[in-house]
Amino acid sequence: MSNQLENYGDVLQQAWTNETFKHRFITDPKAILTELGTEIPDSIKVEVHEDKPDLRHFVLPEKSQIEEMDLNNGDPLISTVMQRARDDAEFQLKLLQDPKAAVKEATGTDVPDSLTICVYQDTPTLKHLVLPVNPASEELSDSELEAVAGGKGPSASQVGQAACQIGGAIGGQFGGSYGGLIRTGTGALSSLF
């Protein structure tokens, strides 16, 4: 492709509208990003994790990036979890191993049983990208509607949407300040690595 994409939002739009592109992006993200004008050193591996309505993937930045983050912006639930992950190595480990329990411990919020959460840690040699559910195609299930209407806590969609509101930026290695725990929406790809 001769058209260089400047932000992850453009990549997401292509992935959401072109199944062939999405499959290639998930199976060989370095090749796709290179085709789109982003150079990635050979020493860095890139993994793409695809969200589903009942499965959400989150990415913790490298420790040095967490320490530089402004955690006062964005969703308070996510900010609380990120502050704990930044300040408490044991909590960060728990977040990676048992995300639901860690979220409950940090915020008092129960994550719905119907939602699976996976949390990944970026390293200098491994970067994780999240391909979120296309918001145009996401609908609440009957059980999610019931939970919201009954005041039983956040639905899977609400948890995912809240996570998507944590700053908008993709991350330090994506240009600018790190947006938070999940990579979605916007952010320059030109400074990815």
Half-sphere exposure of 52 (CA within 13 A, CB side): 7
Confidence band, pLDDT 50/70/90 cuts, at residue 138: low
pLDDT higher at 29 or 186: 29
The C-alpha atoms of residue 67 and residue 62 are separated, in whole angstroms, by: 9
Specify the length of the chain in residues. Answer: 193
The C-alpha atoms of residue 93 and residue 178 are separated, in whole angstroms, by: 20
Q: How confident is the model over 135-151, as a mean pLDDT? A: 55
Provide long-range contacts, Cβ within 8 A and 24+ apart, for 100-103: 103/77
Which candidate, 55, 89, 76, 44, places its Cα nearest to that of 192? 44
The region of weakest confidence among 79-93, 118-132, 153-167 is: 153-167
Give me the domains of the chain, ranges plus CATH numbers.
Answer: 8-174 (3.90.330)
Q: How confident is the model over 5-26, as a mean pLDDT? A: 86
DSSP code string of 31-73:
HHHHHTT----TT-EEEEEE-BTTEEEEEEPPHHHHHH--TTS
Predicted local distance difference test score (pLDDT) of residue 93:
95
Which candidate, 156, 128, 176, 136, places its Cα nearest to that of 53? 156
Q: How confident is the model over 121-127, as a mean pLDDT? A: 91
Predicted local distance difference test score (pLDDT) of residue 28:
95
List the structure tokens of 152: 């039983």
CB neighbour list of residue 19: distance below 8 Å, 6 or more residues apart = none
What is the per-residue pLDDT across 63-94, written as a single tens digit (0 to 9) for each? Answer: 777 667 666 666 788 888 888 888 899 999 99
CA distances from 19 to 15, 22, 84 (A): 7, 5, 38
The C-alpha atoms of residue 26 and residue 29 are separated, in whole angstroms, by: 6
The reported pTM is: 0.70
List the structure tokens of 49: 């994790």
